[in-house]
Amino acid sequence: MSALLSVEDIHTFIGQFHILEGVSIEVPANSITALLGRNGAGKTTSLRSIIGLNPPSRGAIRFQGKVISGQRAFEIAQLGIGYVPDYRAIFRQLTVEENLRIAERKKGDLDRKKAFILALFPDLGRLYAWPGGQLSGGQQQMLAIARALVPDNQLLLIDEPSEGLAPVIIEQLMAAIRQLSGQTTVLLVEQNFRVARVLADRYVIVEDGRSVHSGLMADLAGDQALINRYLGAA
């Protein structure tokens, strides 16, 4: 089974704190996998470990078969992994266009992808010259995802895209993400189980820094007991 991304029993420390104590995730290509769990379970840290911002001290991470854990974050990104953090990380003083331009890895990336991105997120076209800081929360989230689409990324790491957004916007986002999954693989951290259930094909549950359960989303959706156990009141 050739998973696009394979996280193998990683342990990650932040300072002296042992945040991840054995997390394993398999993400097959061209699917959406949801990383679920309660607050503080270690989901964000898992993503940060994958992208290399908080490298794991034990265990290995493989992307397309090659070990990437231990490389610098920019090297990992250049392999084709896009990261959309939970705080969106929009460069507030740069315009929408500049936010997209900076994500280019090869010259002309944005020009090639512009039509696609604007079709996915029409609002961004209207806001092209606006400074990122003046966008609404939902628009920033779209920009953050759009930014990850500029270069040729095979894997997108998206952290809590629906947080703090109005339901209408969430619908738009979900539609966009669903459209993406045809060409790109997504590992999605989502606190909102309803969103995750609709979008994801597979799931991995993290609790207290350990991965405790994984499988097909279809199976999880029907298992209320499991949902209550690991995800609290979902």
Give the number of other CB atoms < 10 A from CB of residue 61: 25
Q: Which stretch binds other proteins (CB under 8 A): 27-35, 62-70, 92-100, 209-217?
A: 92-100
Three-state secondary-structure class, residue 53: coil
Distances (CA, A) of 195 to 35, 163, 173: 12, 11, 10
Q: Which CB sits closer to other proteins, 21 or 97?
A: 97
The yes or no reply on residue 16 touching other proteins (CB under 8 A) is no
Q: Which of 40, 70, 125, 215 binds other proteins (CB under 8 A)?
A: 125
| Beta carbon of residue 117, minimum distance to other proteins (angstroms, whole number) | 11
CA atoms of 16 and 199, how far apart (whole Å):
36
Three-state secondary-structure class, residue 139: helix
Q: Which stretch binds other proteins (CB under 8 A): 28-36, 97-105, 180-188, 206-214?
A: 97-105
For the chain, where are the alpha helices, taking DSSP H only? Answer: 43-51, 73-78, 96-101, 109-120, 122-126, 137-149, 167-180, 193-199, 217-222, 224-231
Distances (CA, A) of 225 to 14, 210, 214, 230: 33, 19, 15, 9
Q: Residue count at the site for other proteins (CB under 8 A)?
A: 32
Residues 164 to 193 in contact with other proteins, rule: CB under 8 A: none
Q: Which of 57, 134, 136, 224 binds other proteins (CB under 8 A)?
A: 134
For 158, the token pair is 């998206």
The yes or no reply on residue 127 touching other proteins (CB under 8 A) is yes
- Per the CB < 8 A criterion, the answer to whether 90 and 135 are in contact is yes
Q: Which CB sits closer to other proteins, 107 or 168?
A: 107
Q: Which of 98, 152, 163, 201 binds other proteins (CB under 8 A)?
A: 98
The yes or no reply on residue 93 touching other proteins (CB under 8 A) is yes
- Residues in contact with other proteins by CB under 8 A are 51-53, 72-74, 77-78, 83, 85, 89, 91-94, 98, 101-103, 105, 118, 122, 125-131, 134, 147, 151
